[in-house]
Structures are given as C-alpha cells and as structure tokens.
Structure 1
Amino acid sequence: MNVSIFYDTPKYVNQFRMFIESKKELFHSFTYEYIPLEKEIPTKDSISIFLLNCQRANSSHLTNTIQRLKQLGAHDKSMIFVINDIEKISNEEVAIVYKDLEKKLSRLIEDPKILLVSLTGYEVLQRYKSEGVVSTFLFSNHKDGAVKTFQQILHERNIQLLIEYSGVQKLEEAIKKLLKKEFLAIKRDPSKKYIFAYRLDPLFLRELQKDISLFIQVIDTEDDLEFLREEEEAIVVTSRYFYEITEDNLNSYRNMILLVDGSNQIQLFEMEKTIGKWKRKFPDTLFIPVNSYPLSKLDNIVTEELIKDKDIVIVDDNGFPLPKTTIKNWKNVLFKSSGIDVVKNVLQQRREEIFV
C-alpha cells in the first residue's frame, strides 16, 4: 500500500522517517512518498497523512490538497491529520488550534481524525535511547500544565510522561488501523458509487465483476464491515456468514443486501420458511434467494451430465419444474437459475435509488 505524507515544514520529513524506522516491524512493508502541501498531488491509490505545523495548521494549501484528493476520489476516512510541534505553544493555544482545524476540516470531510503530536519530543527520547544524549527539551504536561524538562523526567524516572506527551502511541495506533483497511486507499471515480462485497461467494463475485456497470469493492473482515456501518453504499454478504452479523446490529446497517445461498434449487425450497422469518425479523434488510451450484457448472457444460444431475432443478417463472430434456440453451438457463441476474438488477436499482 502507498502512504502519502503531506507536510508544511521540511524538518517533519526526517522526523517522520525516524518514527517509521523506530516502528519498522509494523510499517516497513509500505511505500512512503513525502509531498510538500503546495505541490501537485499524486493520483495513485494511497492513504494520506498530513503533518501540520501547530503555528500554521489551518492553511489554504491544506484546504486545496484535501479538495483535490476528494476530486480524485479519496475516501474521507483515508486521511489522518497530525498537529505537530505542540511543545512550541501553550496548552491553551494547542486547544484553540485543534478546535479551529476541526471546524475547518469538518466542512470538507466527515468526522476528521486529528492527532496532537510532538515528534521532536519523540526524537529526544530516541536519541537518548540510542546515543545517551540528554536534551534540554521543555514541554508542558497536559494534565496539570506544569513545565517539565527532559532532565527532570529522567531524574524522576518518569519517561512515560514524555511518551504520552509526544502522542506517538496514538499516532501509531491510528496508522495501524488505517493500513489494515486497504480498501480505503483506493481512489474511486467520484461520479460513481461502489458496492461493497463482504465475503461474497467467489462464483457470485466473479459474475458480478464481469458487469462493467457495477463497481464491486471487496472487503474481507467483520471489522471492515463494522467500519462501513454508516456508509451509504450497498453491502453484500452471503448467508453462510449470516451469523457473523449479530441479530442486534443487522438492522443498523444501511442498505444491507443478504444473498441467501441454497446452493441448489431443492435446498432453497426448503429454506423458504427461514427466509420468510428473516424478512419479518429484519425488515430493513433485503434478502435475495440464490443458487451457487448452477454457476459452478457454467465453465464446463455437459448436457448429459446436467440432465442426470439431481441437484440441478430448473423451474419456470411460476416455480414449476421443467423437463431438462427440453432445454436448448443451458448457459442462459443455468445463469438464470442461479439468481445472479436478479442480484444484478437489484444492485442497479438500489444504486439508482440511493445515489441518483
């Protein structure tokens, strides 16, 4: 994954590199690009971390960069904003800078992630650990406002106080969480909206991805699903993973579509009562009956085998079984029997209802 580091102060580049190097077991596998705020923005997929000087965090360059990222299709949650050098101003001033930046960012993106950090403080700690250098660094304790020197906390054996003040633990945690969500790095066509597929059966996923009018984005974990709870995009899951989504929270997901996979038509008939119960219990969730087994036969259609296969049951529009010996176009029949055409139509309709 690519990580774009936007900065307004040149020294932040080396400071952040030092931070990344100290956490290389966590962050070494990612590609970092350091970009001055006023420069052209790369169009490739990436998450974005903004290193902002506490004395000029609220700049027009920041606004322009965010707006450009949004135009390119960056997700609001793909950005982290770091107010750095907080040791240079008072705690009261830090609070004002934070509030002003939050107010500005909230006009541009939803629920901005803002962190207060002293990379200089962290650098002081790292130099002491590696070289034994005792700095004259001064900082104001967040809790009581007392001014501390690095020498004092060494004497008091309270290095943890500076670690907490530096904010690097929260920064590390925020970056770790973001790097786990690769789908957030994808810059999407702003004129289109994506449908998220959560652990969708590979057979259905393959067929849906063939439709260029659908924009399917795969997510793999329940944590990702929870993260997208408030997203407007449709979310698709299969019935085999149904119980990973608890009964308590299913109705709280927006635009949830659940594919109930009977595997074959016979089993789907047997599941009709269960589907009816689910529909009544979760009225805000759309349930679509599907069959994955017919799709598994599409790549190797042998008429004689399909006729003999008891798990292949073809029904007419009224639900009555058809004699398989009368079927001329097995590809179309298998495709329709799977229910994938219904899924595509529903997804198209749902997109239009939500986004147009």
Structure 2
Amino acid sequence: MKLLTLSLAAALILLPLASIAREVQTSEGPVTIPDEPKRIIVLNPAMAGNVYALGLPVLAVTESTRSPTAEGYSGVWAAQASEQGSQVLPWDFDRFNMELLLSLEPDLIIGGGQGRPGFMTIEAYKDLSAIAPTILVDASLANWQAELDFLANALGRETEQQAALSTYAARIAQVKAAIDLPPQPTAFLLPVELDNMYFIPEGTATPQLFADVGFEADPILANHPDWKAFGTGDSAEISAEFATEALTAPTIILTPWSAGGISVTDLAAHPIYGTLPAVKNGNAYDFPDYTYRFDYLGALAVLDVIEATFGR
C-alpha cells in the first residue's frame, strides 16, 4: 500500500503542466483538467455512451453488465468502443483495481452517475484523483440529457452536445410518427427476481423517454405517497401483495435487471403477476436491460426497440 501511495503521488507530480487548462466545478469541488484530454478512463459504463457521443477519446471503460458483448462492452456503445480500441476494465462490487488504473497513465478519469460504479467512484475519489484529474457526474442528475450537459460544459464539447440533441429530437419525431400506442397508461417494471419486484417511478428517465413518443406513465408512486423510491429515486419496490391493486395499467413495459433476467413469460406463469390486466390481455412487453439507466446512445437504442415493437 505504501508503494502504491508513493506511485500515486509520483503520477500526480509528473502530470504535464502544459496540458492543464480548464477548471471544472463538480460535486467534489473545483477540478483542474486538461483542455484536450487524450487518455480518458470512464468508470461508470452507464455513462460511456455520453462520452463517446461527445467525440472524446476513451482509453478504457469499466466492463458493462448491460447487454454485454463478448469483449465486455455494452451493446449500445460497442461500435464506438471497438472503433477506438477502448480497453475493458474488470471490476468487482467492492473496489476498482487502482494499480491497473495507474498503469494506464490516464490524463482524465470520469466517474459518478447512478448505480454501484458511480457510488464506488465517490468512495474512491481521493485515490482516483491521485492517479489523474477526476470529475464525478452528480448522481442527482436524473437523465442522460443532464449528464450529457454536465460533461459537454466541463469538456468544452457544446457543439457535439447540440448535434446529439438534434439527432435525438429527429429520432423522436420519426418513432412517434411510426408507431401505434398500446392502451395507456403504462407501468414500467424492473424485476430483480420474480418475488423481488420493483417499478420505475413515473418521473424518471425511462418513463420520460417513452413519454417523448406519446406514452403516458401510470402515476404509481404519486398514487401511493407512503411508498419511497430507493437510492437516486429511479426505482421503488412493490411487493406481490400490493401488485394487483397498484399494477392496474393496461400496458406494462418490463425491463429485466440484467440480460436474460425475468421476462413476461415468467410473469404470466406467476399466480399473482399472471392475473394483471396487461399480462392477461397481451399488453406486457419485454424490453432489453439497457432500458433502465441509459445514456445518449442507450436512449437511441431504446427508441429502436420501441419502433420495432410498436411500429405499424
């Protein structure tokens, strides 16, 4: 540990001063970063699509658990990562491999955001900052647009940001014109296990994306003010005993916690969930795991699935 600490200190001292030109305000205070970083490490794979969309060079990215490819990329940004040759960083639930990060000699580390990787970067911020300037995206930023805005302003990529937003707006118009909506409103379920069901509250990123193309989110959380959303507010637990009372929406979008997780077929076979109106009437739909906690490229990928599922 002493050797690692000395190495981290040496890395900080050797950072090329000529490359430091921009100060960024973050949740951890002001951070001075290179004006044009060339060796970026992204520690939250749920945000990597935003970084690629801004045209930034990603040296390495944490392994994704969302529709992962054989390489460990997320399927939604695999093409961009492959083109850049981004290295995949293994990680476990407890810590990042600081020795590996140090050996890569990054000039910028991007962390934060929602989910376990984001929380881990907050815990490890001091050590990460000793390796390279580190900026954390605040977990309170509720959707990819807010995360993209922070990164674009921090890194001087406002032109690329506007191009991404224009592409998204155009795609929204295309999909909205191409689909027939199922019966509304819609409930958004997030099963971890069949007997450990969560829903995605109506004011969060997933229902907002669907609302952009005309869906109406069932106000489950508003109808049950005593229920509390967890963590950053984008999920809330619902027990089976309350399911028939709360999940009366005529349409359900089901997003598994991970690829190959709980499906509509599993709901249909369940003695309680199988009785839900949306399930009985054939209006429950399987969506990929990246429909939850997505970045810009993930949002575009979800729009593709919406169009394929509900297209005329």
* TM-score class, shorter: under 0.3
Highest RCO, 1 vs 2 (Cα 8 Å, sep ≥ 6): 2
Structure having the higher helix fraction is 1
Using the size of structure 1 for normalisation, the TM-score is 0.24
